[in-house]
């Protein structure tokens, strides 16, 4: 069911994409992520709840990808978070930490610190991949893909927001244990 939801979200996003070239770039990392999950599916300890949270994250990403991350929701956010940029990208980075933390915690056999490390590491790897892809393609398309919007510290802020989101989920779920798994802090 979750796999069907993923396929549907990607198909709808691709169909309605404002820039198909940017949409493909936005989904390269997603394709690698889902390829890794499919390859190791039997060994992954993800609960149904974690898979649904990852689907929600994918839907948020696909909504952004359809608009090259210049979404109407991000435009609506300008008066509240500053007129200098469309803030949807920042929202998704924060929600990456919130929504991926439970899956990384399950992957880490209950370790909250290790799950936090996973969020930070994957966020950093994503920012590096984004930079490498941007330098390898057409400069104008690469600039649109990175989505820095004139902020020299965009990558650092994106990683900090993912960290803050993961810390939030870590705090909210602090007393909750993962059944039948070793829990450590």
What is the extent of the structural domain holding 23? 2-172
Cβ pair 121, 108 in contact under 8 A: no
Q: Specify if 150 maps to a domain.
A: yes
Q: Specify if 120 maps to a domain.
A: yes
Q: Specify if 177 maps to a domain.
A: no
Q: What angle do CA 164, 151, 117 make, to 5 degrees?
A: 30
Chain centre distance of CA 157 = 14
Number of domains in the chain: 1
pLDDT at 63: 93
Q: Specify if 143 maps to a domain.
A: yes
Walk along the chain (185 residues) in steps of 10 and give the mean pLDDT of each run: 82 88 82 78 83 91 89 88 85 96 92 94 88 72 58 83 96 70 44
pLDDT at 154: 80
pLDDT at 132: 79
Q: Specify if 33 maps to a domain.
A: yes
Cβ pair 119, 97 in contact under 8 A: yes
Q: The pTM is what?
A: 0.83
Structure tokens at 119: 């969020």
How far apart are the C-alpha atoms of 24 and 137, rounded to whole Å? 12
How far apart are the C-alpha atoms of 123 and 30, rounded to whole Å? 13
Q: For residue 114, give the nearest of 63, 162, 172, 183 by alpha carbon.
A: 183
Q: For residue 101, give the nearest of 42, 166, 37 by alpha carbon.
A: 166
């Amino acid at each position: 069911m979750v796999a069907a939801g993923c396929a549907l979200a990607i198909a709808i996003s691709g169909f309605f994409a404002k820039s198909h070239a940017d949409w493909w770039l936005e989904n390269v990392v997603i394709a690698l992520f889902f390829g890794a999950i499919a390859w190791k599916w039997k060994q992954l300890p993800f609960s149904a709840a974690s898979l649904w949270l990852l689907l929600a994250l994918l839907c948020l990403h696909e909504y952004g990808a359809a608009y090259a991350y210049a979404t109407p929701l991000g435009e609506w956010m300008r008066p509240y978070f500053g007129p200098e940029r469309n803030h949807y990208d920042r929202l998704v980075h924060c929600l990456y930490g919130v929504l991926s933390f439970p899956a990384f915690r399950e992957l880490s056999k209950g370790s909250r610190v290790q799950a936090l490390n996973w969020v930070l590491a994957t966020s950093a790897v994503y920012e590096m991949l984004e930079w490498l892809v941007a330098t390898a393609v057409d400069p104008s398309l690469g600039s649109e893909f990175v989505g820095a919007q004139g902020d020299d510290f965009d990558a650092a802020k994106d990683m900090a927001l993912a960290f803050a989101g993961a810390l939030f989920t870590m705090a909210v779920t602090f007393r909750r244990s993962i059944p039948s798994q070793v829990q450590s802090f």
